[in-house]
Structure 1
């Protein structure tokens, strides 16, 4: 596997001297106190992606999202005007969770004209207005206009739904566009809306959320950890040559790594798996890439040919990963404690036109899940090891620049929050 030279000016890390080059601490991944600060300083202040508009296909569509990191549950819905709205999932009467099915701590979805509380049948319309109170005349000075659902700041960018937990009586510190910044908004125009063939999986991971993000922010591990998933001749060559991505970028709180690709179908027969030839697909996606038209200016910044992928890491916990073969996937890392989180992955393809195309997408999804499980498999061991505090500082190489940035950015948001709350 070919090595790509670093920029003439020096290493990638040296492009961002504020990150330093020394060993780093992983205290932020093992400290319950830091986790509690993250919940307040990050997950209640940053814009968080909670899905795509395809989850709300018609007026009255809704879904709920458990947001343990923000200590709440939300309802996301499409109102009668077609607008996307979000509310805290709390009835204004006695605080019962408003929308849930058999298991109140699980997400749910559906279509309705109004939300009806299971406890006392208070009703709210899709704009969050309280419309009906059971035995209303028994309440004292009740003004229903004052007791609608508590709204959550909600904006949509390119079909991605984001929420912000700033008080509903105040504006977020930044608009969504300001928060995303040019590196992300330059992705506008990608045909997200045509990628409606979806494959989703999730896992409860016994590790801090940032450790899994770290696993997908560098490819230094790929020739070693994933060696058994590739043909022997290929894995041996890759292990000897190593791998370096040709482009890294940091902008504000967000990060990007872009890599070259391989044309699997041009490799020697012994370098491919028989199932890949049958389905014309594999880890990198279906071989027959769809014509997606002109790509946004923000993709493939290194102008790789062939281009492999671009992984955009949106702070704090959302990733959009574009594949050169004409599909994309998303990752979410939802903290549930200082040493556990829920990992979600969704793969998006164009609607298949033939059974073969469908099988090709399924093979790509299954292959990618296997690789993802390999990455996750190391995490519990990492978590327990660093919790021992036998080693308190860890070395990072030049390719691990994005790891440095994530942990530094986490600390910066906490520091800013503490200064603001202290009135400094």
Structure 2
């Protein structure tokens, strides 16, 4: 990423004049009222990625997903015909949470033939239909056919399982994803099934962590171990190779020479020994077949990483031979639950397994550096907004995706507000 010519001022933003170039408001990251609007305008209307099809290997395989901002839980389950369906995780009798183990707020997974409520024993087939009511004769005109689990719109793209909490989604999943994302059709995500997962609760607005991965302007200052001192000099500049927008979604690509060609100060000693690190194994197994046109859309050479940011809260970072997944789940106006998953092709040797584990540990170190900044950012923004009279901040050309992201959030919220006004009228 370093050593490349710095683009002229406005070289990216000028391609998207609707974004403007002025400072942007950060009220959307500090306002409890705005958070409540996001719940209705975004998280109850957008398609949300909740998992992968590999989590559902056979008929009856299921997992639950807690979507706290929407105040709901969903069950995602594999049907006998191989399809995937989703339901609200609520028994239709007296509203007990249907699927949970020891703690009702924890997510669970397993395989079953039917779902049975712990409270009164009502049972539901995998397709959500009610098949058993204990002491059914005591109920008055109970229509079992209309008392099944409440379905949630569910669809799959490239093995990623999405749900939409809107009873009548405004777009199909493919329409929502649009051409920039669906141009990845055919990428072998399904070959990368060795997963390293981690999660954390962070004391910051969900958008602030997403912002940290939408620009690499911060890298020389925050990730000093990864960038040699010569590159950290301000006059040298630091930039990504490509930015692109499509609807509510974004992508940025970085240049990336092969790791073994870089100076030693770019990496930890263990990276040199194991030939693996922040950008994964130095020599991942080659992927078979022709890669889809959506990969490396800017035709960057040498290409390093594509970071596809799917609105509202998922990022897919594609490296050479593996990928990384982020999700940001809001829990309040100033907190969120962060999920990360590193996905490799299954190791064929002990050495490859070590390479994967080193890569995941080194990556986690850098993710923690980003996460460690966010509580300070959140508290300072709240103080700035409430007491210092500061309500906005400037953005540079390399922060175009940050500008676009917050503008998109505002547009969805404004559209929801306008609909409520029309209803009242």
Give the shorter-chain TM-score range: over 0.9
The C-alpha deviation readout for 1:270-302, integer Å capped at 9, x for no partner, is 554331232110101001122113211011122
- Which secondary structure does the structure 1 equivalent of 2:208 belong to? helix
- Quote the offset at 1:381 in angstroms: 0.4
1:254-269 to 2 correspondences below 5 Å: 254-269=249-264
The aligned residue for residue 140 of structure 1 is 140
The aligned residue for residue 118 of structure 2 is 118
The aligned residue for residue 313 of structure 2 is 317
1:22-421 to 2 correspondences below 5 Å: 22-167=22-167, 171-227=168-224, 229-230=225-226, 234-240=228-234, 241-269=236-264, 271-293=266-288, 294-323=290-319, 325-388=320-383, 389=385, 390=388, 391-421=390-420
- Gapped regions of structure 1 (runs ≥ 5): none
**Number of residue equivalences:** 416
Checking the alignment, whether the CA contact within 8 Å between 1:116 and 1:123 is kept in structure 2 is yes
Checking the alignment, whether the CA contact within 8 Å between 1:12 and 1:248 is kept in structure 2 is yes
Checking the alignment, whether the CA contact within 8 Å between 1:4 and 1:246 is kept in structure 2 is no
Checking the alignment, whether the CA contact within 8 Å between 2:28 and 2:35 is kept in structure 1 is yes
Which is worse superposed, 265-274 or 136-145?
265-274
Which is worse superposed, 131-140 or 268-277?
268-277
- Which secondary structure does the structure 1 equivalent of 2:150 belong to? coil
Checking the alignment, whether the CA contact within 8 Å between 1:224 and 1:239 is kept in structure 2 is no
- Which secondary structure does the structure 1 equivalent of 2:412 belong to? helix
For 2:95 and 2:106, the matched residues in 1 are separated by 17
- Which secondary structure does the structure 1 equivalent of 2:326 belong to? strand
For 2:10 and 2:231, the matched residues in 1 are separated by 26
- Quote the offset at 1:379 in angstroms: 0.5
The C-alpha deviation readout for 1:310-362, integer Å capped at 9, x for no partner, is 10110100111101x21101100000000000000011000000000000011
Checking the alignment, whether the CA contact within 8 Å between 2:115 and 2:126 is kept in structure 1 is yes
For 2:265 and 2:43, the matched residues in 1 are separated by 48
For 1:272 and 1:217, the matched residues in 2 are separated by 23
Checking the alignment, whether the CA contact within 8 Å between 1:283 and 1:368 is kept in structure 2 is yes
Checking the alignment, whether the CA contact within 8 Å between 1:6 and 1:246 is kept in structure 2 is no
Q: Report whether the alignment pairs 1:2 with 2:3.
A: yes
- Quote the offset at 1:70 in angstroms: 1.3
For 2:295 and 2:329, the matched residues in 1 are separated by 26
TM-score (normalised: structure 2): 0.95
- Quote the offset at 1:10 in angstroms: 5.0
- Quote the offset at 1:5 in angstroms: 4.7
- Quote the offset at 1:407 in angstroms: 0.7
- Gapped regions of structure 2 (runs ≥ 5): none
